[in-house]
Amino acid sequence: MTRNRKLIFDWLWPLAVFGALALVPKLNVSVPKLFDQPISSPGTLALLSACVLYGGLALTYDLQFGFTGLLSFGHALYIALGAYLANIAITDWHWSFWPSILFTMSVALALANVLGFVSLRVGGIAFAMVTLAFAQAGAVLALKDPHHWTHGEEGLGADYTKLPKAFVGIVNTKNLYWLSLAFLAVVFFVVRWAVESSPGRIWQAIRENEQRVEVLGLRPRAYKLQSFVLSSFLAAAGGIVYMLLYSGSTLVLTQPNFTLTLLLMVVIGGAGSRWGAVLGGILYTYVNDRLIAIGNSSTVEGLPHALRTPIEQPLFLLGIIFILIVVFLPGGLAGIASRGRPSGLRRLEEAIRPGGSDGGVPEQLQESA
């Protein structure tokens, strides 16, 4: 019985959801309030592609943040790496597609190992600052463009002649949507498999209480590195999807705010919950896009200044929503379903708490020491 339930929850239910989502481009219907154009139109499909892509990217972030308790402010580095390096190999170095992808993913793996190793020398909040600094170095590199590869502020448009034909052009928007969806599905099942594996259980134990893991004779750092590397690797893959989806790479990807945006998505959806992170990514992207669309429309022109600002600057409103969720609903949207049990941010407290005076070693350990 429980075995069947597990099967249903772990495989059938997600497969059904992704299967249903895969049929979306075939829907030739209009949903007037939600989308300006019919579902199967390139415009709406492009928005939906972005939604599922961000759902996947948010989940890669949740793997290290929500499931392992690593608060990184530098996740964008790996997404940007995927988007830029693959693009540079294709467009600047004129490599063909698959070698570029292979090369990019290898570099991402190596870089995540090296930077993860260094930044995991510190824990908690210091880790957040260090990852932020490394990402900033990447952002500066992309901006200053010493080798004339990234084209600085212009961004780097991809050489579409080298890209697989199926992913080029407006007529193929539905393929790009399926690509994004495939990315989301792969991330979803990899994350599911990883967190249920025996190292994955230790990641979650580290999140709950790192010292207890240490007391068991395990080295938390090695496990944290695993989670960090897997999360970063998947993020780089997402970066490649981003590059294909937008036929290029832009500086936005490299900036610290990009990571913070992912953090917003994950917390809004529910940290440490697979569906929560995915839902957060999708909803955030959708709301952001709609607010921008409304902000550019003529109806806003007539509004008083004080009302226009929040609509024209979606991040203002989304930031406020985020704060309210942190304060009043720490489990995020997914936490609504698990009322009563500690969920989301509450569960993360142990992991990221600084080793301050009134935190730190549980007292029963002190007394028996």
Partner 1 sequence: MSAVAARTLLSVRDLHVFLGQSHVLQGVSFDVPEGGVTALLGRNGVGKTTTLRAILGLVDRRGSVRFGADELVGMSTHRIVRRSVGYVPEDRDVFTGLTVAENLRLAERDAEPRYDLVYELFPELERRAEQRAGTLSGGQQQMVAIARALLNDNRVLLVDEPTKGLAPVLVAQVADVLERLAELTTVLLVEQNLGVVRRLARDAIVLDQGRVVHAGDAQELLAQPALLRRLLSVGTHAA
Partner 2 sequence: MSTFLLLTVTGLGLGAMYFLIASGLSLIYGLMGVLNFAHGAFITVGSYGTWWASLHVFGGVQSNLLRWLLSALLGLAFGGVFAALVELVLIRPLYARHIEQVLVTVGLQLSFVALVTGIWGPDPKTFVVPAWLHETTDIAGAHIPNDRWIEIATAVAVLALLQLFLRKTRYGLIIRAGVENRAMVQALGIDVRKAFTLVFAIGGIAAAIAGVLSGVYFNVVGPEQGTSLLIFAFIVVVIGGLGSIGGSALAAVVVGLTQQYTNYYASAGVGDMVVVLLLGVVLLARPRGFAGAAVGARA
Binding residues for partner 1 (CB under 8 A): 209, 350, 358, 362-364, 366-368
Pick the closer one to partner 1 by CB: 301 or 358. 358
The closest of 262, 248, 237 to 81, measured between CA atoms, is 237
- Reading the block at residue 343, the tokens are 């969920």
Pick the closer one to partner 2 by CB: 159 or 208. 208
**CB proximity list for 171: less than 8 A, separation 6 or greater:** 42
- What is the spatial distance between Cα 63 and Cα 200, in angstroms, rounded to a whole number? 10
Which residue shows structure tokens 């004080």? 306
Name which of residues 331 to 360 contact partner 2 (CB under 8 A). Answer: 345-346, 348-349, 351-359
Name which of residues 238 to 257 contact partner 2 (CB under 8 A). Answer: 256-257
The closest of 150, 146, 131 to 83, measured between CA atoms, is 150
Q: How far is the CB of 150 from partner 1 (least distance, A)?
A: 47
The DSSP string of 32-77 is TTT-SS-TTSHHHHHHHHHHHHHHHHHHHHHHHHTTT----S-THH
Q: Of these partners, partner 2, partner 1, none, which one is at the site of residue 2 (CB under 5 to 8 Å by kind)?
A: none
Q: Of these partners, partner 1, partner 2, none, which one is at the site of residue 363 (CB under 5 to 8 Å by kind)?
A: partner 1
Asked if residue 368 binds partner 2 (CB under 8 A), the reply is: no
| Total number of residues that touch partner 2 (CB under 8 A) | 59
Residue from 59, 267, 282, 334 binding partner 2 (CB under 8 A): 267
Pick the closer one to partner 1 by CB: 172 or 209. 209
Residue from 123, 239, 248, 272 binding partner 2 (CB under 8 A): 123
- What is the spatial distance between Cα 231 and Cα 185, in angstroms, rounded to a whole number? 15
Whole-angstrom Cα Rg for the chain: 21
Q: How far is the CB of 353 from partner 2 (least distance, A)?
A: 5
Pick the closer one to partner 2 by CB: 186 or 292. 292
Residue from 34, 122, 300, 337 binding partner 2 (CB under 8 A): 122
CB-CB neighbours of 355 under 10 Å: 11
Q: What share of the chain is helix, strand, coil (3-state, %, to 5)?
A: 75, 0, 25
Pick the closer one to partner 2 by CB: 42 or 280. 280
